[in-house]
C-alpha cells in the first residue's frame, strides 16, 4: 500500500503544478483579452483554437491520447473565452437535444446556452446579441 500512496502523492503534486500553470495561463489570457479590447479585435478566434490544438497534437509524445487532450483544451479555451468576454450561445430546441450538445461541444461548458423554439428565433437572438 505504501507504493500506491507514494504514486498518489506524485499525482497530487502534479495536479498542483497543473493548477498553477492553468492560473498562470489565465493571467496571460486576461492580458490578451485586454489587448484585443484595446485594439478592437474580436475575442473569439476559432482559427487560433485550431492552431493551438494542432500544435499540441504534434508535440504530444504520449502516452496521453490526443482526443481527450483536445477535449481538455476545448474546456480550457471555453473558460478563457468566458473570462475575456462572457459568451452566449443560442441554439434550436430544448436542453439535451443534438443542437444543444453540438453547441456545447463547439463552445464548451463555460458559455451561457439559450434554447430557442424556431430557427428564426435563433437568428434573432444572435442578431440582438442576447
Beta bridge partners of 85: none
Which H or E element spans position 114?
strand 112-116
pLDDT surpasses 90 at 1:
no
Q: How confident is the model at residue 130 (pLDDT cuts 50, 70, 90)?
A: low
Write out the H or E segment, with its range, that includes residue 122: helix 119-127
Q: Is residue 36 within 8 Å of residue 43, measured between CB atoms?
A: yes
Q: What is the DSSP string of 43-97?
A: S--HHHHHHHHHHHHHH--SSS-HHHHHHHHHHHHHHHHHHHS--EEEEESSTTS
Domains for the chain: give ranges and CATH numbers. 1-85 (1.20.59.10), 86-130 (3.40.190.10)
pLDDT in tens, 45-82: 889 999 999 999 999 999 999 999 999 999 999 999 88
13 or 119: which leads in pLDDT:
13
* Cα–Cα distance measured from residue 90 to residue 122, given in angstroms and rounded to the nearest whole number: 6
Give 60 or 122, the one with higher predicted confidence. Answer: 60
Amino acid at each position: 500500500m505504501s507504493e500506491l500512496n507514494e504514486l498518489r502523492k506524485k499525482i497530487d503534486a502534479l495536479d498542483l503544478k497543473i493548477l498553477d500553470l492553468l492560473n498562470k495561463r489565465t493571467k496571460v489570457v486576461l492580458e490578451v483579452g485586454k489587448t484585443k479590447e484595446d485594439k478592437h479585435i474580436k475575442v473569439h478566434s476559432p482559427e487560433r483554437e485550431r492552431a493551438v490544438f494542432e500544435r499540441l497534437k504534434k508535440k504530444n509524445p504520449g502516452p496521453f491520447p490526443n482526443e481527450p487532450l483536445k477535449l481538455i483544451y476545448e474546456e480550457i479555451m471555453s473558460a478563457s473565452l468566458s473570462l475575456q468576454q462572457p459568451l452566449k450561445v443560442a441554439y434550436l430546441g430544448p436542453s439535451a437535444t443534438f443542437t444543444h450538445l453540438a453547441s456545447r461541444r463547439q463552445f464548451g461548458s463555460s458559455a451561457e446556452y439559450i434554447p430557442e423554439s424556431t430557427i428564426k428565433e435563433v437568428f434573432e437572438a444572435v442578431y440582438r446579441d442576447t
